[in-house]
């Protein structure tokens, strides 16, 4: 899927390059219609008008009367920097400002590109979790616990991203550990443990996935829609189950839980 396992001369084949752009868009969280649209425009600009079929788990690219390229997609995340860059470059390609070799070279550099370092990402998730907890009704004194929960959730997700751990397992573990600061908050008698827990879990909740699923469905990309909604349901179930386990044990032990 990445550059290393390909011979360089494949990068002169327009269909392969276009498919790679599609894979990068798809794994970075672009919606189905954008992936298809961008791939079709790129293919047309490179002189190989093609039809596309994009699903969250695979994409196909067929050149009229020519060959077909298929790419399997196994993991997806949200990296809007990559979506933005490929969008800008495909605009340059369409306007004739960027040629196939130049575009291919930029693509091979963009995989894994991050605009902000992991530490900034984790800190942002922590503060966001604390603010959302306050929005859910937590007090200012509960904020450090929600911050801890957000940091744990995002830190674990970022840490496991590189390893071949299945996404459901990551979310289950993340939710389980992110629930612990809320239990600490409740155990210390500070109250509003629920808002702390919910704020921390917001980092893991598949809101974007579900929204994209419905948008895909309304746009007519039915196959993409059902698979995204199923993915969202699986992740939501994993998060709920992961958070429920420590919460259940806490309630069993203490009997009281500050809503």
Binding residues vs another protein (CB under 8 A): 29-31, 34, 40-41, 43-44, 49-51, 64, 78-84, 87-88, 91, 94, 114-116, 120-121, 124-125, 127-128, 131-132, 134-137, 154, 194-195, 197-199, 201-203, 205, 207-208, 210-211, 213-215, 218-219, 236, 240, 243-244, 247-248, 251, 257, 259
Q: Which residue has the tokens 């039809």?
A: 51
Closest approach, Cβ 8 to another protein, in A, equals: 27
State which residue, 9 or 18, has the beta carbon closest to another protein: 18
State which residue, 67 or 211, has the beta carbon closest to another protein: 211
Closest approach, Cβ 73 to another protein, in A, equals: 17
Closest approach, Cβ 142 to another protein, in A, equals: 13
Closest approach, Cβ 195 to another protein, in A, equals: 7
CA distance 112 to 41: 24
70, β-bridge pairs: 60
**CA-based diameter of the chain, in Å?**
70
Distant-in-sequence, close-in-space partners of 172: CB < 8 Å, separation ≥ 6: 238, 239, 241, 242
DSSP codes joined into one string, 102-165: HHHHHHHHHTT--SS-HHHHHHHHHHHHHHHHHHTT--GGGHHHHHHHHHHHHHHHHHHHTTT-
3-state secondary structure of 62: strand
Closest approach, Cβ 59 to another protein, in A, equals: 15
State which residue, 30 or 224, has the beta carbon closest to another protein: 30
């Amino acid at each position: 899927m990445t550059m290393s396992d390909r011979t360089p001369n494949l990068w002169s084949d327009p269909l392969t390059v276009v498919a790679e752009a599609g894979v990068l868009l798809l794994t970075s969280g672009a919606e189905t219609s954008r992936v298809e649209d961008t791939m079709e425009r790129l293919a047309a600009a490179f002189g190989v008008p093609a039809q596309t079929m994009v699903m969250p788990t695979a994409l196909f690219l067929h050149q009229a009367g020519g060959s077909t390229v298929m790419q399997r997609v196994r993991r997806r995340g949200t990296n809007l920097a990559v979506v933005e860059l490929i969008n800008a470059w495909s605009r340059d390609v369409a306007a004739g400002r960027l040629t196939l070799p130049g575009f291919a070279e930029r693509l091979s550099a963009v995989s894994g590109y991050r605009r902000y370092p992991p530490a900034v990402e984790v800190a942002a998730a922590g503060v966001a979790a604390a603010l959302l907890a306050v929005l859910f009704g937590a007090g200012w004194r509960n904020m450090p616990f929600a911050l801890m929960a957000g940091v744990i959730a995002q830190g674990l997700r970022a840490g496991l991203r590189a390893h071949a751990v299945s996404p459901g397992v990551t979310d289950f573990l993340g939710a389980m550990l992110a629930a612990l600061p809320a239990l600490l908050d409740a155990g210390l008698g500070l109250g509003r443990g629920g808002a702390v827990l919910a704020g921390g879990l917001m980092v893991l909740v598949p809101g974007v996935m579900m929204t994209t699923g419905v948008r895909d469905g309304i746009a007519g990309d039915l196959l993409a829609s059902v698979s995204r909604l199923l993915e969202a349901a699986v992740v939501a179930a994993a998060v709920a189950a992961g958070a429920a386990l420590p919460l259940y044990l806490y309630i069993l032990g203490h009997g009281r839980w500050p809503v």
